[in-house]
């Protein structure tokens, strides 16, 4: 569980918000503060005021999996194999185990033939899948995903969903512009101008957004 109290950071202001275990969709128009909130939740930036705790402990960098919206911003190393291995090396995983886990992770996403390739030679979708594997390879309990799905075709998105659901991550917060995808998760948070506009189940949230661009197309088509 993630708990936010009296959060202030730039234009973001959140008094009290609880994000339970499970998957939560974070939605809102461009500039509403979604990426900023994700980075704060992941401990990648400290709040100016207030607190963020994950299971009662202050959020710190390196403990959660994080995937940036832009594929090239995720890469730290030039070679795919090193990119996938990095989280394990930071945790001092023995070399034999590390090599095995990198190979197994690459196989799950069909990237095992690309391990010796440099990151700049990969397609946008391959870079996104690499970033997701790197975020998942150390089995984090919390995972933050910033619109990574916008770079994936349908088959890759289905594979990514399978990888996330089977990862064992207890709490997942993912920003998406795909409202039909957001409607599938247990909870939805809507940000507007740095404030929480709505938070609750998909039914509670989307019933209040019926006349907005944030209403799922599938619900609009069949209402």
Check pLDDT > 70 for residue 202.
yes
pLDDT (tens digit per residue) in 5-51: 999 999 999 999 999 999 999 999 999 999 999 999 999 999 999 99
Calculate the average pLDDT of the chain: 93
∠ CA 29-153-211 to the nearest 5 degrees?
Answer: 30
> In CATH, which of 2.40.30.30, 3.90.1150.10, 3.20.20.70, 3.40.50.300 is domain 1-64+141-223?
3.40.50.300
The domain locations on the chain are 1-64+141-223, 76-139
170-182 confidence digits (pLDDT tens): 999 999 999 999 9
**What does the pLDDT read at residue 98?**
95
Structure tokens at 17: 């918000």
Question: What is the DSSP annotation of 138-196?
Answer: T--SEEEEESGGGG--HHHHHHHHHHHHTS--SEEEEE-S-HHHHTTSSEEEEEETTEE
Distance CA 112, CA 104 (A): 8
User: Residue 214: what pLDDT?
Assistant: 82
Euclidean distance between CA atoms 179 and 75, whole angstroms: 28
Determine the Cα–Cα distance for residues 3 and 19; give it in Å rounded to an integer.
6
Show the CA angle centred on residue 1, arms to residues 44 and 32, nearest 5°. Answer: 50
The pTM is what? 0.92
* Alpha-carbon distances of 29 from 11, 32, 126, 145, rounded to whole Å: 15, 6, 27, 17
């Amino acid at each position: 569980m993630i708990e936010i109290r009296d959060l202030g950071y730039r234009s973001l202001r959140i008094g009290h918000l609880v994000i339970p275990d499970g998957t939560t969709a974070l939605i809102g128009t461009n500039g509403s503060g979604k990426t900023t909130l994700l980075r704060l939740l992941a401990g990648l930036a400290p709040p100016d005021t207030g607190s963020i705790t994950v299971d009662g402990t202050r959020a710190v960098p390196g403990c959660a999996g994080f995937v940036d919206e832009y594929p090239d911003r995720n890469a730290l190393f030039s070679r795919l194999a090193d990119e996938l291995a990095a989280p394990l090396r930071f945790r001092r995983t023995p070399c034999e185990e590390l090599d095995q886990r990198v190979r197994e992770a690459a196989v799950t996403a069909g990237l095992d033939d690309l391990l010796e390739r440099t990151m700049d030679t990969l397609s946008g979708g391959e870079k996104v899948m690499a970033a997701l594997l790197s975020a998942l390879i150390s089995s984090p309990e919390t995972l933050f995903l910033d619109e990574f799905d916008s770079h994936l075709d349908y088959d890759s998105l289905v594979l990514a969903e399978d990888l996330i659901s089977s990862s064992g991550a207890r709490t997942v917060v993912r920003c998406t512009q795909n409202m039909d995808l957001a409607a599938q998760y247990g909870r939805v948070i809507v940000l507007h101008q740095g404030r929480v506009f709505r938070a609750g189940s998909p039914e509670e949230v989307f019933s209040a957004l019926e006349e907005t661009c944030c209403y799922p197309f599938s619900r609009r088509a069949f209402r």
